[in-house]
Amino acid sequence: NACVFLTQISRTFIAVKPDGVQRKLVGEIVRRFEKKGFKLVGLKLLQASEDLLREHYWDLRSKPFFSRLVTYMSSGPVVAMVWQGLDVVKTARKMLGETNPADSLPGTIRGDYCVEVGRNVIHGSDSVASAQKEISLWFCQNELQCWENSSSHWIYN
């Protein structure tokens, strides 16, 4: 069954933010995750509501930038994705780079495409628990696909 997880196989939530969509970086970001060997199990383009974003960023509600973040994230379409694979949360965070692009290494998404922390192109879950919460917030169960990846035996031992 394609939906049965090995113990280290997990899912993460990745969102290309409005600046990433406007700058036409969606295809490049999807390409990087596919080439890494992760399996795409959910993807949608949507205009996120302020209510959804307030809930998503609830932990940041006391920060002075919270309202600007919600306004920015609701200013244009977002591409929401769910990726599956071995240690996908940890690896995806490394692929994204640091929250502040100035601290991100070349070769990371933020290191290659971002200049300012307020326009850092992409969001990725920071833990398995956050990933589960964010996936359930952005996707209904029937929007996540279970499919057999024919190349998985070339990726996993």
Q: Answer yes or no: is pLDDT of 48 > 60.
A: yes
Annotated ligand binding at 32? The verdict is no
Q: Whole-prediction pTM value?
A: 0.92
Q: Note the pLDDT of residue 1.
A: 46
Q: Confidence band (pLDDT; 50, 70, 90) for 17?
A: very high
State the distance between the two ends of the chain, measured CA to CA, in whole angstroms.
17
Which CATH number applies to 2-146: 3.30.230.10, 3.90.1150.10, 3.30.70.141, 3.40.50.720? 3.30.70.141
pLDDT exceeds cutoff 60 at 76: yes
Ordered alpha helix ranges (H), 15-127: 18-22, 26-36, 50-56, 66-73, 88-96, 109-113
Where in the sequence numbering do the catalytic residues fall? 123
pLDDT band at 3 (very low <50, low <70, confident <90, very high): low
Return the minimum-mean-pLDDT range out of 6-20, 74-88, 90-104.
6-20
State percent of the chain over pLDDT 70.
96
Is 17 annotated among the ligand-binding residues? yes
